[in-house]
Amino acid sequence: MLKLKRSYRKDQKFFWIVGCPRSGTTLLTKYIGQFVDACYNEPFLEYPQKNAGYWTFPRGLDTIVFKWCENWESYKVIIKRFPESYFIHVWRHPKQVLYSLFFPKKNSEPQRDFGFTRDLNKFGKALDFWHSYTDGCLSIQDSSERHLNVIYEHISIKELSNFTKIDLSEEISFSNRNDIEVLPKEMAVLEAQWRLKEHKNYYEKRKEIEDRFYKS
């Protein structure tokens, strides 16, 4: 197998997938990964988190999709080191994100423990977790040509194709279904907490995003 030499190429095109964990970032990364030269989904060993200033990629790769949910924190370093960088922020309804954080699928990828599993006493902390990622991803969006917000529940292949300039010919299927047993009492607590603490805030934030990025 030919081993590509690692070096520095400023013309390599990158699609960085960001967003709160459990928002569909892995699924979108793997989907786009079918149509580019290389796909990196949280490569812990090869590309340590928050260490973008030292990352290099094989010279023979022209288009790359790369996911660390936290890459918005390295935004300035990334666009300086890799000028042809484009960020796709996956936005999922926080109620569904919290559900996935509290009751993760058995086959969740990656298998990261965020410290919320079945601990509904941490509802407030989980909400802060979602807000920190969402606000962070929005804070770096200084150019509509470099950034795209996609809503998990309403993914548009046409919109993704137009943004990436890639013919994404296959449909993508997202689901909110889970494979873990959730007790009725647990679901009732989650629903009650949601109605009490976050319902209005979420819709205000979503309106802000739609006003900023989806006006015709």
CATH 3.40.50 assigned to domain 12-213? The reply is: yes
Query: Which residue has 């999922």 as its token pair?
Result: 92
Give the 3-state secondary structure of residue 2: coil
pLDDT given at position 133: 93
Please tell me the pTM assigned to this model.
Answer: 0.81
Task: Among 53-62, 63-72, 199-208, name the one with the lowest average pLDDT.
Answer: 199-208
pLDDT in tens, 108-127: 666 667 888 878 888 888 88
Report domain extents, the chain.
Answer: 12-213
Q: How many CB atoms lie within 10 A of CB 156?
A: 13
pLDDT in tens, 15-33: 999 999 999 999 999 999 9
How confident is the model over 143-169, as a mean pLDDT?
A: 89
Q: Tell me the two tokens of residue 96.
A: 């569904």
Q: How would residue 70 be classed by pLDDT, with cut points 50, 70 and 90?
A: very high
DSSP 126-160: HHHHHHHHHHHHHHT---TTTEEEEEGGG--HHHH
Range picked from 65-74, 164-173, 193-202 for highest mean pLDDT: 65-74
